Amino acid sequence: MSKHDNFKKHWLDMGQPPVEYFNTKENIWIEVLPNRGVFYDYSYRIKGDKHWMLRQKWIDSGFILPIEYLSTFDGKYALTDTPKWDFDTKYREGDLLVTDKNKKDQGKHYRFEYRGIKLDPARICKIYGVNSLLVGQAIKKLLVAGGRGNKSYEQDLKDVICAVNRELEMIKEDKEA
């Protein structure tokens, strides 16, 4: 679903409230006339929406961006699955997934992006239908052999051989049982 489709879906879910678009020549927001949509332009918002930048990020993310709202119950921010975007409610991007921003990412060397697709050993194994834990471990070690910093290329290859040998042992054990 494109960002424009996401916005249109959200707009329809809200009951089609008035929409504004940003006129770059005059540097102002202008109301869209009834029965006309501006779903081809990047610069639109629900009319008078003070949360429009956050809402747009949320829409652009395909509704997966974590959003928090300020709770009137305890005065703390809490995660919300479906923001209602009340004008009196304060919203912000959710930060619940990151507990310590200074903490080193232990699995960074396994994650890559190719043509906009996030790739890591788990994704590759899923795509190829690898169901064996040991084969998956071997694939993971082969993908970054010698590039993880704590083991040499040679040691990673030995670990791969060990994992594959154990997989073969298990196949043999299962046949004998």
Task: Give the end of a domain, one of 93, 126, 141.
Answer: 93
Q: Is residue 44 part of a domain?
A: yes
Judge whether residue 86 has pLDDT over 60. Answer: yes
| Structural domain includes residue 103 | no
User: pTM of the entire structure?
Assistant: 0.41
Residues 84 and 142 in one domain: no
Flag whether 38 is in a domain. Answer: yes
Q: Which of 31, 64, 93 is the last residue of a domain?
A: 93
Structural domain boundaries enclosing 82: 3-93
pLDDT greater than 60 at residue 29: yes
Q: Are 71 and 78 in contact (CB under 8 A)?
A: yes
One domain for residues 8 and 85:
yes
Q: Is residue 24 part of a domain?
A: yes
Domain boundary pick from 66, 93, 120 = 93
Total count of domains within the chain: 2
Per residue in 48-61, pLDDT tens?
777 777 877 777 77
Both 86 and 32 in a single domain?
A: yes
Q: Tell me: the pLDDT tens digits for 89-147?
A: 888 887 654 445 555 666 677 777 777 777 888 888 888 999 898 999 899 889 888 87
pLDDT of 159 > 80? The answer is: yes
Does residue 7 lie within any of the structural domains? Answer: yes
